Amino acid sequence: MTEDEARKRLKELAMEIRIADSQYYQDDAPILTDAEYDALRKENTALENEFPHLIRKDSPSRSVGAKPSGKFGKISHIVPMLSLDNAFTDKDVEDFTARIKRFLSLSEDTVLAFTAEPKIDGLSAALRYENGKLVSGATRGDGQTGEDVTANLRTVSNIPLVLSGSDWPITLEIRGEVYIDHQDFEAMNENQEAAGKDAYKNPRNAAAGSLRQIDPSVTANRPLKFFAYTWGDISAPLSETQMGAVNAMASWGFDTNPLMKVHQSPAEMIAHYHEIEEMRANLGYDIDGVVYKVNDLSLQERLGFVSRAPRWAIAHKFPAEKAITIVKDIEIQVGRTGSLTPVAKLEPITVGGVVVSNATLHNEDEIERLGVKPGDTVEIQRAGDVIPQVLRVTKDGQQPPFIYPVTCPVCSAPAMNDTDPKSGRVDVVKRCTNGLNCPAQAIESLIHFVSRRAYDIDGMGSKQIETFYEKGLVKEPADIFTLETRNKDIKLETWEGWGATSSENLFDAINARRSIAFDRFLYALGIRHIGQGNAGLLAKHYLNWDKFYNAIKSIDVIGGNEWAELMSIDGVGEGAASAIKSFFHSPDNQTIVDNLLTYVTVIDAEAPTSDSPVAGKTVVFTGKLERFSRDEAKAKAQALGAKVSGSVSAKTDILIAGPGAGSKLKKASELGIKTLTEDEWLNFIQS
């Protein structure tokens, strides 16, 4: 896949997953099966791994769930409720354990214990206890803020209102899954049908809908149950191991899964997975995989987190479902960065309870590899995270081959494949060359701008953006912030579907975003290769928007001081740096940014507040580290507030040099930079 194709596909995936999350978490009405949803996320992760500089600001890898619906009060999670990365094959599990050992600098033959337990397919909930009494309960929400469903959770029969025993922490947040078992689900549907009502689609939907009833008495009449499996905010450790902590939960009155076991190798973990897979149909409740976690809690702490998921856990999902159908047509969709992505329009077919009518074909090369064309019969797979994908052609429809367009189907501008000037590699993704003059790219850029991880403007989603754009009211981000002053002519409250209250709410939501954090502002601009991760790295490095903006605009040649500083930021590669330079050196883009800055204020990133001796310092690691892996050393330094750079410059404060240090150590010596051995570094940060 070319870079352009990957960019376009990542944009599509972000939108598809965002919509699916909203339907799943807010409306309890999933539009994708679990396998389809997992497939989308898997595709997104694979593309981000291959093209890390393309990670989007609104990337699904940076988010969990969806915003609270507004039907209930909100509860902020002191410890974020994150999601899990997925494994789909036995090799994925082996790679997971190998990654952990590498991160911890453990030898391949080191025995490392993992827990393995069924992944319940229900609704995540967090229960907060103080002095042994249940004081509040919340849904996952978007991972940061959930819905206050305390009254409803109090009605769940196996959730203790008062904890058993006396050895629990004074503050204890227990997390787990609310679900309905198969027997109770069948009884619920019998009652629904007897009352002349529609049957529930599946136990997960029924559980989610039951827990999120406005009237707690309705919830009380639903057969909800709860499995506890982890924790959030606690005032004291639960145990030294994951298994010990779960056993402690059981002693305090929580139901925990009896199939949870501790294993010493990937082979044991995988064998347990297949055992549970065989038992799946007879468990009496829905599961969609097996979750593995590092058993040693001190190692969990060292491993930490990456964006939306912990490094120390993974969900081994059950295989995706497949089906055979016919390709009616192949359509080209244009993404935010101009990528032309082919989508197969299918004869609708039900796969695992979900009606599928679209499947991704990724790019021109994939169409050629599959040999797919309209009229062909194909095998499709829904694999969990994205719209289904076409696996193979099973019957030739005897139609002419699909001709990939050389012009944009929206604006008719030339569509071309980018070529890397250094390697000469041609990107597999064909892109429209018309930039924001292409309506499709302009609309998608604006949708990205208002998205949850960017400006997060309530009441302004894709439909509203499309309408405002088509009416000529919003052509660039700055136009959003002048809507209210223009409303005397627009009269939004008189439009169909709008009213005085909804239009006022929209203007209030816009006004609430007139100040925005540096990283979100940068992310919202939709610069190629600048996802949330890179935006955060840049904000932490430069701290002040004007400093960053002026530095980038002043880059006159690659290799100068400003360019060297940009390239020194650990994690910001040459692709991302080049994209930043190109974006801010475009007069049109500068005008868009300057217009926006007329109406909004960019809040400086917070300087490190850690009292560690390296807070705010720029450090560089070189040579072979013997006490930690390079990744763990960097993660530790960043956690202490340090900036980790990949190169030595006059702005470097400390160089940590292990055996084999070469040119970086020499340059640090020439510049008079403080140099420490690994042991000296550890003593320094512990001081």
Active site residues: 119
Contacts 24+ apart (CB under 8 A), 627-632: 627/105, 627/678, 627/679, 627/682, 628/104, 628/105, 628/678, 629/102, 629/103, 629/104, 629/105, 631/102, 631/103, 632/103, 632/104, 632/105, 632/302
**Helix (H) or strand (E) run with residue 324 in it:** strand 321-334
Contacts 24+ apart (CB under 8 A), 218-221: 219/152, 219/155, 219/156, 220/155
**Helix (H) or strand (E) run with residue 126 in it:** strand 123-130
Half-sphere exposure (Cβ direction) of 31: Cα atoms closer than 13 Å: 15
Half-sphere exposure (Cβ direction) of 598: Cα atoms closer than 13 Å: 13
Residues 6+ apart with CB under 8 A from 12: 333, 335, 341, 360, 386
**123-137 exposure pattern, b = at least 16 Cβ within 10 A, e = fewer:** bbbbbbbeebebebb
What's the full length of the chain, in residues? 687
Sheet arrangement for strand 313-317: 86-87, 313-317, 287-294, 114-120, 261-263
Query: Which two structure tokens, joined as six digits, stand for 218?
Result: 């309705």
What one-letter code names the amino acid at 246?
V
What one-letter code names the amino acid at 185?
F
In this structure, are residues 13 and 46 in contact, taking their beta carbons and an 8 Å threshold? no
Q: Residue 508: helix, strand or coil by DSSP?
A: helix
What is the rounded CA–CA span in Å between residue 569 and residue 75? 36
Q: Residue 415: helix, strand or coil by DSSP?
A: strand
Residue 630, classified by CB atoms within 10 Å of its CB into exposed (0-12), middle (13-18) or buried (19+), is middle
What is the rounded CA–CA span in Å between residue 576 and residue 578? 5
Strands (E), 387-443: 389-395, 415-419, 426-432
In this structure, are residues 176 and 226 in contact, taking their beta carbons and an 8 Å threshold? yes
What is the rounded CA–CA span in Å between residue 620 and residue 607? 19
Three-state SS for 360-378 is ECCCHHHHHHHCCCCCCEE
- Estimate the share of the chain in helix, then strand, then coil, as percent rounded to the nearest 5: 40, 25, 40
Distances (CA, A) of 424 to 415, 418, 572: 18, 10, 22
**403-414 exposure pattern, b = at least 16 Cβ within 10 A, e = fewer:** ebeebbebbebe
Q: How far is CA 544 from the centre of its chain?
A: 26
